[in-house]
Amino acid sequence: MTSPPPLPPRRRRIIRPVRGDLIAGISVAMVLIPQSLAYAELAGLPPVHGLYAAAAAPIAAALIGSSPYLQTGPVALTSLLTLGALAPLAATGSATFAGYAAILAVLVGVARVLLGALRWGALAYFMSIPVVSGFTVAAAVLIIASQVPHLVDAPSVSDSPTRAAADALSHPDRWSATTILVGVAVILIVLVGRRMSALVPWVLVATVIPLVASQAGALDVTVVGAIPAGLPDLSLDLPWSATPDLIVPALLIALVGFAEPASIARRYAITDRQAWNPHREFIGQGLANLAAGVAGGYPTGGSFSRSALNRLCGAKTRWSGAVTGATVIAVLPFADVLAELPVAVLAGLVIVAAISLVDLRPFGEYWRNSRPQFLVAVPTAVATLAFAPRIERGLLVGIALAFAVHLWREMRIDLTTRRAGPTLHVHPEGVLYFASAPMLDTRLTALLAEHPDITRVVLDVHRLGRLDLTGLMALRGFAEHARGFGVEVEVHNVPEHARARAHRVLDPVCRLVTTEPD
């Protein structure tokens, strides 16, 4: 009898690009190029560093990312976080500032790769939704405020976006009507155009028209200025001495900045009924930031608008992101043609992006449904505005408030009581552990004083979310105290997982009943 032929070796499925990826990738690149210039300005960097990040990040993210639609590159929120982290350390626009931005990108990349490799993708949801809501709205307001001086052509030396905006608005004699007209026109073209057709790259349209007019001498406005043409130098020769000052901001950007790409990937996975892997996405976004840092860029993230355009233009695989990056690389040798681009155009593009982040509806929901969460979201927003440009401090305030609310809730034990003759039925509700056990003991003891004629207390513990050893010992202490007053204590409905331990701890002093008696 002859043995069966050996099975062929199992081959790993290779994802191959399709025609839609090519069209979508080039279309997104046409939007990304002007946006990357604008976001680099927002981050306090020379515009060319935005192009470097836009070239390297999408290609690296495409290597392992989970979502076929997610487009990676410079984004508004991450740009503002970068400015806040680096402004106290170096002068904006300087070579040192750019070097620190590259280090920050590398650190963000390392953090995300490690989180993904350790399969800690769930940390993307570490911050509560009210914290993210409050921080995002405040950050959007700051982003818009930071562009006001550019929109009216009245520069300010203040490092606070709100003070800079107030200073610019308070001197109308310095405004440029032409600059305002260009900026407002850009905003209207993009906002109105998107309502007409999502397939048209309105950002590109709003960029090319003023650029051509400026090059023809038809516009007398402030322009971007010289942009170095050519490919970036790939190097890790950076001012690493600043690393200790950048670790905390890098960790915050790694987590906060991942919320947007995670939301994009999850949304489209649900729409297409496909699985997505947050751990792989963490690694993909980490590689994107590592590549951006090595190429001389700055921290990057996922873009809602560019990802939506990518999907609408027919992208089918994550190769579309690689096509986007390759297209930007192809444009870099000719980047100097963008020197005559009006600064007001970049301001308008940033404002358009920030407007979509201003969503006040969640605050009303928090007020109606959970006042404690409202008291997390609003102070987070206020702190973010107050600490600008160090907006990561506002985020830390929000995280601390969220933990405080969580601990406050965890320490609360609500009691529902019902008197039936000499028996007092008590239904505690909450989480019984070391922090809340003393409160429960105090309240149960107070009930004995309120009802001096009772002879029996029935504690139904099925509503307790947790019943650990400390909680059981608190119940035993109460039972011992009650027995001293001649009151019998019964504990009903102990969860099955805690039943054996409850018998060991409570049997000497009280009776355990598995089901509630009639």
- Does residue 117 lie in a domain region? yes
For residues 256 and 347, state if they share a domain. yes
- From 323, 338, 355, give the residue that closes a domain: 355
DSSP 123: G
Structural domain contains residue 424:
yes
Question: Do you find a cis peptide bond into 428, omega within 30 degrees of 0?
Answer: no
| Token digits of residue 227 | 């942009």
Q: What is the pLDDT of residues 321-346, one digit of tens each?
A: 999 999 999 999 999 999 999 999 99
- Cβ(21)–Cβ(315) below 8 Å: yes
The total number of structural domains in the chain stands at 2
Residues 346 and 433 in one domain: no
Last residue of a domain, one of 318, 338, 355: 355
Same domain, 131 and 216: yes
C-alpha torsion angle, residues 26, 29, 31, 33 (rounded to 10): -150
CA distance 50 to 353: 16
Answer whether residue 3 is part of any domain: no
pLDDT digits (tens, 9 = 90+) for 262-306: 777 777 777 777 777 778 888 999 999 999 999 999 999 988 888
Position 14 scores a pLDDT of 53
303 lies in which domain range?
19-355
Residues 339 and 436 in one domain: no
Closest CA to 354 of 484, 165, 482: 165
Picking from 288, 322, 355, the residue at the C-terminal end of a domain is 355
Q: Could you give the angle at the alpha carbon of 115 between the alpha carbons of 111 and 121, nearest 5°?
A: 135
What residues are paired with 457 via a beta bridge? 424, 489
167 with 286, same domain? yes
Same domain, yes or no, for 276 and 420? no
Between helices 76-86 and 391-411, what is the axis angle to 10°?
A: 100
Provide the token pair at 502.
Answer: 């409850």
Work out the number of other CB atoms within 10 angstroms of the CB of residue 260: 23
In a domain? residue 382: no
Residue 374 forms part of a structural domain = no
d(CA 413, CA 447): 14
**Does the predicted TM-score (pTM) go above 0.85?**
no
Cβ neighbour number for residue 270 with a 10 Å cutoff:
10
Domain co-membership, 350 together with 441: no
User: Does 337 reside within a domain?
Assistant: yes
Residues 430 and 395: beta-carbon distance below 8 Å = no
Beta-carbon neighbour count of residue 227 at 10 Å? 18
What one-character-per-residue DSSP string does 237-274 give? ---GGGHHHHHHHHHHHHHHHHHHHHHHHHHHHHHTT-
**How does pLDDT run along the chain (518 residues), one tens digit per residue?**
444 455 444 444 556 667 788 999 998 999 999 999 999 999 999 999 999 999 999 999 999 878 888 899 999 889 999 998 998 999 999 999 999 999 999 999 999 999 888 887 666 666 678 888 898 899 889 999 999 999 999 887 777 888 889 999 988 988 999 999 999 999 999 999 988 887 788 888 999 999 999 999 898 898 998 899 999 989 899 999 999 999 999 998 998 888 777 777 777 777 777 777 778 888 999 999 999 999 999 999 988 888 888 888 888 888 999 999 999 999 999 999 999 999 999 999 999 888 888 889 999 999 999 888 999 999 999 999 998 888 888 888 988 998 888 777 777 788 888 988 899 999 888 877 777 778 888 888 888 888 888 999 999 988 887 777 888 888 888 888 888 888 999 999 888 878 888 889 888 888 888 764 43
pLDDT of 10 reads 45
Q: Where do we find the tokens 């096509």? A: 323
